[in-house]
A and B are shown apart, each in its own frame.
Chain A
Amino acid sequence: DTAVSQTPKYLVTQMGNDKSIKCEQNLGHDTMYWYKQDSKKFLKIMFSYNNKELIINETVPNRFSPKSPDKAHLNLHINSLELGDSAVYFCASSRRGATDTQYFGPGTRLTVL
C-alpha cells in the first residue's frame, strides 16, 4: 500500500491557468509538507501543516495556497500559473515529535507552457 500518494503524477498546462495537486497519506501522521524541486534538482520547503494548522510558510507567492481538509490530506492549489512554476512538487508527511522522519510521495511534475 502506498504510504504517501500524490495525484496527478504529471501535469502539463498553459500559463495563466489554475491547477491543484492532491496529496494523501495513510501513515497516521500529523504533519504534512510541500516541497518544490527545481530544474537543477534543488529541493526547498514551501509549506507545512500540523493537524490542519499551517506551521511553516516559506516565502512563497500568494498564488500558491495549501489546503488541508483533514490531517491525512494536504492539497496545493496554484493560481495564474507562470513558466517559473514548472518543477517537481513533493508532498511529505511525518509524525510530530523529536524522532520524526519525513516520508515523501512520488512527486508531481508540473510543466507550464
Chain B
Amino acid sequence: AQTVTQSQPEMSVQEAETVTLSCTYDTSESDYYLFWYKQPPSRQMILVIRQEAYKQQNATENRFSVNFQKAAKSFSLKISDSQLGDAAMYFCAYRKAAGNKLTFGGGTRVLVKP
C-alpha cells in the first residue's frame, strides 16, 4: 500500500522569506501523480501544485515550486516570498496514474510571522 509521510508537523517562516516543506512517499508504481494541497482556516482544500512522475522538470506555480526526486521518493514544496495568506495546513498527496484514490500525508502547519 502506498504511504505518504510529512515529517514536519509545523513550520514557521518570516514574511517574505522562503520555507520548504518535506514529503516522502512509498510506492512500487512507476507512473503516478503527486500533489500539494493547502487547507487554510476556512477548511477549503485548495490545489497548490501538481507533478507528474514521468516529467523530470519540477512543477512551478508562481511562488510555489517543488523539488521532485523520483529515485529518493521525495517531493518537497518550496514557498518563496511567503505571505500572510500562505498560513495554512499543507498536505502532500499521491495518486497512482491508473487510479482515483488520493493518499494524503499527515499535513504540515505553516505559520507566517509578520
Residues of A within 8 A of B (CB): 31, 33, 35, 40-45, 48, 50, 55-56, 58, 88, 90, 92, 94, 96, 98, 100-104, 106-107, 109
Contact = CB atoms under 8 A, between A and B. Distances in A.
B47 A94 contact: no
Interface of B: 35, 37, 39, 42-47, 50, 89, 91, 97, 100-104, 106-107
B102 A45 contact: yes
Given A50-B100, A101-B47, 17 more contacts: A35-B102, A40-B106, A41-B39, A41-B107, A43-B102, A45-B103, A48-B101, A56-B100, A92-B45, A101-B50, A103-B47, A104-B37, A104-B44, A104-B45, A106-B43, A107-B45, A109-B43
B34 to A, nearest CB: 11
Nearest to B50: A101
27 contacts: A33-B102, A35-B102, A41-B89, A41-B106, A41-B107, A42-B104, A42-B106, A43-B102, A44-B104, A45-B101, A48-B101, A50-B100, A55-B100, A56-B100, A56-B101, A58-B101, A90-B45, A98-B97, A101-B47, A101-B50, A102-B102, A103-B47, A104-B46, A106-B43, A106-B44, A107-B43, A107-B44
